[in-house]
Amino acid sequence: MQGSIFTAFSEMVIEKMGMEQWNELLEKTEPVSQGMYTSGEQYEDSELVNMVIALSEKTGVDAEKLIQAFGQYLFTSLYNNCPTDVSNIPNLREFLLSIHSVIHVEVKRLHPQAYLPNFEYEDGDGTDLIMYYCSKRKLCHASVGLIFGAAKHFNEEISIVHPECMHAGKDRCKLVVKFKG
């Protein structure tokens, strides 16, 4: 996974828990990179997974919850470093619809070695937007956090229902984004 994801993760741990906790995580998980991440480089997914597991053991917070919280934190740093101009996207719905066909496409063009998840979209009941997420990484909880991060950015209130999940044996996750008001 790309270094930008790891640098955001280290920033989150240091900001919320302090430098000592970050150093403790590195000591415990002994990543090959030694925790020195550069945004455009690729690193082993297992480094992040091991740190999330260690953090979950330390704090007693579910790994899924930690990954979601990280997704929400990550949004701001991804948005601020977006390779395409997204400043004219007027609302959350348009933004979510552009992830797969615009944003991630541009990320892939700039970083051909990047592996990006697949999203398919469908209209749900009323104003609901259904996003089907599929990735070898099964980071659906990061997606949920990222979507909440985007909602905060657009100042829109949403809830997300996750009735089908790759972690429960489905081929893809179904995320139903419910727009309030």
Cα separation, 54 vs 63, in Å, equals 9
Which of the ranges 9-17, 50-58, 135-143, 158-166 carries the binding residues for ligand HEM, by CB under 6 A?
Answer: 135-143
List 26, 99, 129, 173, residue binding ligand HEM (CB under 6 A): 99
Is residue 31 near ligand HEM by the rule CB under 6 A?
no
Angstrom CA distances, 71 to 3, 35, 50, 124, 150, stand at: 15, 19, 17, 24, 10
Q: What are phi and psi of 97, to 5 degrees?
A: -70, -25
The C-alpha angle 118, 121, 127, rounded to 5 degrees, equals: 145
List 103, 129, 158, 177, residue binding ligand HEM (CB under 6 A): 103
Q: What are phi and psi of 164, to 5 degrees?
A: -130, 135
Minimum CB distance to ligand HEM, residue 146 (Å) = 4
Closer CB to ligand HEM, residue 54 or residue 97? 97
Minimum CB distance to ligand HEM, residue 18 (Å) = 26
Is residue 81 near ligand HEM by the rule CB under 6 A?
yes
Please compute, for residue 46, the number of CA atoms within 13 A of its CA located in the half-sphere on the CB side.
6
Cα separation, 6 vs 36, in Å, equals 9
User: How many residues sit in the footprint of ligand HEM (CB under 6 A)?
Assistant: 25
- Strand segments (E) across the chain: 118-123, 129-134, 158-164, 173-179
Which of the ranges 21-29, 52-60, 142-150, 166-174 carries the binding residues for ligand HEM, by CB under 6 A?
Answer: 142-150
Is residue 175 near ligand HEM by the rule CB under 6 A?
no
The contact set with ligand HEM (CB under 6 A) reads 1-2, 4-5, 78-79, 81-83, 99, 103-104, 107, 114-117, 135, 137, 139, 142-143, 146-147, 150
